[in-house]
Structure 1
Amino acid sequence: MTDRSLKADILLLITAIIWGAAFVAQRVGMDYMGPLTFNAVRFALGAVALLPLIYSLDREKKKDGTYRKVELGSFLKGSLIAGGALFLGATFQQWGMVYTTAGNAGFITGLYVVFVPVFGLFFKQKTGLPTWIGALLAVTGMYLLSVNEEFHIEFGDLLVLCSAFFWAGHVIVISLLATRVDPVKFAGGQFVACSIFSFMGAFIFENVSLAGIIDGAVPILYGGLMSVGVAYTLQVIAQQDAKPAHAAIILSLESVFAALAGYVLLGEMLTVQGMAGCALMLCGMIISQVKSS
Structure 2
Amino acid sequence: MSESTHSVADELKAMAELVLLGMIWGGSFLLMRVAAPEFGPFALVEIRLAFGALVLLPFVYRARKRLAGRWHVLFGIGLINSAVPFLLFAWATAIAPAGISAIANSMTALFAVVFAGLMFGEKIGIRRGFGLISGIVGVIVMVGMPMAGVPVGWAALAATTAAACYGLAGNLVKRHLAGLPPIALGGATLSCSAIVLSPLAIWHWPGQPLTVTVWASAITLGVLCTGIAYAFLFRLLETIGPSRTATVTYLVPLFGVAWAWLVLGEAVTPGMMIAGILILGGVALSQSRRPPPVVPRQA
- 1:163 aligned onto 2:162: yes
Secondary structure of 2:123's aligned partner: coil
Calculate the TM-score normalised by the size of structure 1. 0.80
Which whole-Å deviations, capped at 9, do the CAs of 1:32-71 have from their partners, x for residues lacking one?
211111010111011112345667xx5xxxxxxxx98434
Q: 1:170 to 1:256 in 2, by over 3 A?
A: farther
**SS at 1:98's partner residue?**
helix
Is 1:24 equivalent to 2:30 in the alignment? yes
The residue that corresponds to 1:83 in the other structure is 78
Residues 198 and 51 of structure 1: CA distance in aligned 2, closer, same or farther (over 3 Å): same
Instruction: Report what 1:62 is aligned to.
Output: none
Which residue is equivalent to 2:143? 146
2:162 and 2:144 mapped to 1: Cα distance? 18
Are the equivalent residues in 2 in contact too, given 1:11–1:235 (CA < 8 A)?
no
Aligned pairs for 1:75-154 (under 5 A) are 76-85=71-80, 86-122=82-118, 123-148=120-145, 154=153
1:107 Cα deviation from its structure 2 partner: 0.3
Structure 1 unmatched ranges of 5 or more: 59-66
Q: Which residue of 2 aligns with 1:185?
A: 184
Q: 2:253 aligned to 248, 252, 255, which one?
A: 255
User: Pairwise mapping of residues 234-273 of structure 1 onto structure 2 (< 5 A)?
Assistant: 234-235=232-233, 242=241, 248-273=246-271
Instruction: Say if 1:202 and 1:259 are closer, same or farther in 2 by CA, change over 3 A.
Output: same
Long gaps (5+) in structure 2: 1-6, 291-299
**Are 2:103 and 2:276, in contact at CA under 8 Å, matched by a contact in 1?**
yes
* Residue 73 of structure 1: how far off its partner (Å): 0.5
Describe the shift of the 1:209–1:79 C-alpha distance in structure 2 as closer, same or farther (beyond 3 A): farther
Alpha-carbon spacing, 1:125–1:53, altered in 2? closer, same or farther (3 Å)? closer
| CA displacement, residues 167-205 of structure 1 (integer Å, 9 cap, x when unaligned) | 11233234456752233332221111121222233245x
Q: 2:216 aligns with which of 206, 215, 218?
A: 218
4+ residue runs over 4 A deviation: 6-14, 52-55, 174-179, 236-243, 245-249
Instruction: Give the drift of 1:119.
Output: 0.9
TM-score scaled by length of structure 2: 0.78
* Distance in 1 (alpha carbons) for counterparts of 2:135 and 2:100: 13
2: CA distance between counterparts of 1:142 and 1:103? 13
- Residue 39 of structure 1 is matched in structure 2 by 45
Query: Please, what is the CA RMSD of the aligned residues?
Result: 3.2
- Percent of aligned positions with the same letter in both sequences? 21
Q: What is the CA–CA distance in structure 2 between the aligned matches of 1:106 and 1:120, rounded to whole Å?
A: 23
Q: 1:68 and 1:168, CA in 2 relative to 1: closer, same or farther beyond 3 A?
A: closer
Asked whether the equivalents of residues 12 and 234 of structure 1 are also in contact (C-alpha less than 8 Å), the reply is: no
- In 1, the alpha carbon distance for the partners of 2:83 and 2:287 equals 26
Q: Does residue 1:73 correspond to 2:69, yes or no?
A: yes
CA distance in 2, matches of 1:102, 1:218: 18
Query: Matches of 1:171 and 1:11 in 2, distance apart?
Result: 23
CA distance in 2, matches of 1:70, 1:118: 30
Structure-2 change in CA distance of 1:43 and 1:9 (3 Å): farther
Moved more, 104-113 or 9-18: 9-18
Amino acid at match of 2:78: G
